Amino acid sequence: MQAVKALYKEGRIQLLEPLCGVTEAELFVIVLDKNELTGNTVTTFSPVEVNSEQEFKSLGLASVFDTNEDNNVDWEDMFDVKPW
């Protein structure tokens, strides 16, 4: 993943620096409005509260450890870890 600066003017995007070693890519664009105005089509992103269960699943470990054998195990008690 690379981040590059670009200009958008009249429906055209102009990269201000080349993409190093990339011959084909899918681009995700984040628009920073020069006038700090946001249109109705702009999506604003806000932080999402994440808990350890969500982090565990996002790491992809749920498919390895989240089986019927361990669904009823209190892992906090097993490892003597107190919840926050």
- Taking Cα atoms as reference points, which of 26, 25, 19, 17 lies closest to residue 2? 19
Q: Considering only residues 31 and 11, tell me which one the structure prediction assigns the higher pLDDT.
A: 11
* Residue 65: per-residue pLDDT: 67
Dist CA 23 CA 76 (whole Å): 48
Q: Using one digit for the tens of pLDDT, what is the confidence trace for 53-69?
A: 777 777 776 666 667 77
Find tokens 């999506």 and name the residue.
Answer: 43
Q: How many helices (H) and strands (E) does the chain have?
A: 3, 2
| pLDDT tens readout for residues 26-47 | 888 877 777 766 555 556 667 7
pLDDT attached to residue 18? 83
Instruction: Spell 30-45 as b/e; 16+ CB within 10 A means b.
Output: eeeeeeeeeeeeeeee
Report which of 20, 44, 18 is spatially closest to residue 31, judged by C-alpha positions: 44
Does the model's pTM come out above 0.85?
no
